[in-house]
Structure 1
Amino acid sequence: MDTDSDVSELDPKELSEALLYDKFACQLGYVEEPETPLTAETFPSKSGGRPAWLNPEHILTAADVTCGNCEQPMNLLLQLYTPEDQPAEAFHRTVYVFCCKKGGCVKLDWTKSFKVYRSQLPRENPYYAPPVDLDDENENENIKAVEQFTAKSFKAPTKCVICGLGGSKFCGGCGLTAYCCREHQTLDWDKCRHKEFCNKTLKTDEQETVDNLRSSHIFLEKEIVSEPEGKDKDEEEEESQAAFFKENNPGEQSDSKALVLAGDEHEEDTEVAVDDVFLQFQLKIQQNPDQVMRYDRVEYNMPEREPLWVQANYKPESIPECDRCHAPRTFEFQILSTLLNFIGIGHVAVNSLDWGSLFVYTCKENCTLGKDFFAQEVLWKQDFSQDGMQLGRKKMQPIISPT
């Protein structure tokens, strides 16, 4: 968008469309097939695949993301590149979400089957040249600094050829292929044809076959792109009616029921009362049904934001403060169940992976990581309630605090 353009130059249609966007509008995420490899230096936001580590010298291991139910390493579900202005250390910032691929584990105890980590780097760091701001008065100096930048030389950590986590185990045959755990070593040997190709130089088509076999055991990789959420037509009409009422009835309190769109009226206490939260979720999602993520970070002077809950009852009673700096954790983004349609999850099996929505909360202050390089954050999971799905009367469920 050209920030120097005069809005008076827009025609009425363009102006009305421009005004649909709230300055604090939620960012909606959509998946696309990547046009180029999603490597660390491109600072990608993506679902599935192997992690593109923001800090290439320090990466997570299987011990950091082991499922507490099956004791197997989790897979990368999603990573978002979310740079922030404050503090300076969060100039580059990525949030990683890991998930056990076994739906049975998630159904058994979901709190043990998800992990979230935050990673960040300042603008001046040893791995990436500082970006050039074309509007900066010191543009020439910045360009010169980029041209003179030399990335730090270091021994890259070995990565598991299956999942991309830190790999400390090596094939006993070739001594070159690394794994994060014995289970992935066995998987690669038996099902990914390493037994056949160990100590051999692979042809291009053979290497492609092996790569595809290895990738089939993790979530499919897709790029995540975003755009701001606009107001839907119902919201526009309600606001228009409210503005009209206020203009023509100064000093009077409007009756909210009078502002309900024709055909949308419903009685509050009927025998077929529905889960209103679920209905609100449906109405909101159907405006952009392909969205897989909603990014709604609370920062700076923004008002408090509520996630788009999928049911009324199973909400966290409280979110634990950051265990590093004791600042509050605030809602940052949620992952919708629509993502499951794009990452290679079959919906037929009884124990297939499923959720209503996953809510990620992170340290509001983006506190320093120091020598830990990663900070663990908090995730909350909601499922669609049976009452909401069946549009029947709902029963109260206990609210459970996160562990």
Structure 2
Amino acid sequence: MEFSSVLAGQAGAETAVDGGCGAAVCVSRVDVAGLSDAGLRGRLGVLGGAESQLEALKAQTMAELARRHETVGAKKVAREVLRSSPSQAHHDVKAAERLAGLAATSEALASGEVPADHARLIARASSEGPIDERELVEAAKTQTYDELTKTVKRQQHELSGDGGQSIHDRRKQKRSARLFQNGDTGLYVLNAEFDPIAGNHIAGVLADKERELWRAEDSRARRSPQQRAADALAELILHPEKGKAAGIALVLVADYDTALKELVNARLSDGTPLPAKELVKLAHEADIFPAVFNARTQDLWLGRRRRCASDAQRIALMVRDKACVGCGADANRSFAHHIKHWKNGGATDYPNLVTVCNDCHHDIHERHHQVEHDRRTGRRSVVPPPDAFPDSGTTTWQPKQLNPVLRN
């Protein structure tokens, strides 16, 4: 592989990396239009590896700048040379400083074995408490970003020494909110960060309000999901007298250890570990719906009695699926989809339901994606139809226009 002439001979560069195109990062130009699907996949893999290697070189350079001129100086250079925003320069320099102290992560990034986002995730975790770096690097080589996020959370909880309480306290300390007006559009932007417990609680309340607004809408003139979310948030803030929608606010999950006769492995519905102290505090709040139950004791088999999933079913699905099975989107903002469609006689029974977000729901109904169940692992997923992107010709099953609302 070779650098393109533009990349290899940048004006003003003192020397090429490692002395030229025998360099660490070289990618040739190709006509991608002539590649097969397999060729495009291979090409994307090469580019991904090159991106990782370039990110490693960038991090090394920024870390050295920070060593010589401190963090402030490195940020200034990043803003001037890369024309970065202040926030992006801050983000890049802090990540570079963290990576400088993580030899295994830096090595895996430089070799292209680990994507840049995975390396940053490990680096950020290292700043929050003790980690087993090599274990996380090995996981990062094979896991998706969402999977690695869960692995990091689980490891942080196990290594914290206090059941994850210190990690939770640090995250809570970093909470922030900012409301500002966008000068270009005149619209107001609300940007906020919450600890996992508060965030899950807010997401549940907001999702319930969105469903309440959806039920009250004219089916012929529905809002977009984004508009409905904005209206739901505005109503909760500006008209609290209308109250929260009656539904799931926050789902807590725990296992019962019959030998110890106590609850263990406390967590939120998405799998985020929960400190025991926080579980005790939350269990005493009236608007929390504890999800500590045996699924066999719940009425999770409704058959054809009703089309929409009950609260008990939604809780069971959140605990089982944790997120949209197609893309990992928040379960609070997802639908309970009938695997065998309701219109085809499908029952509103727990085994026939799966958690999917709005986009993946459309993929299933409009683009012929299928829900698959791996009985060995128990995991469910959404997969595209065969030959969704053929090497030649065009597909005939794609719709011209998507339906605005799906309920199956």
- TM-score, normalised via structure 1 length: 0.21
Name the structure, 1 or 2, with higher relative contact order (CA <8 Å, separation 6+).
Answer: 1
Indicate the structure with greater helix content.
Answer: 2
When you count strand as a share of all residues, which structure comes out higher?
A: 1
TM-score, with structure 2 as normaliser: 0.20
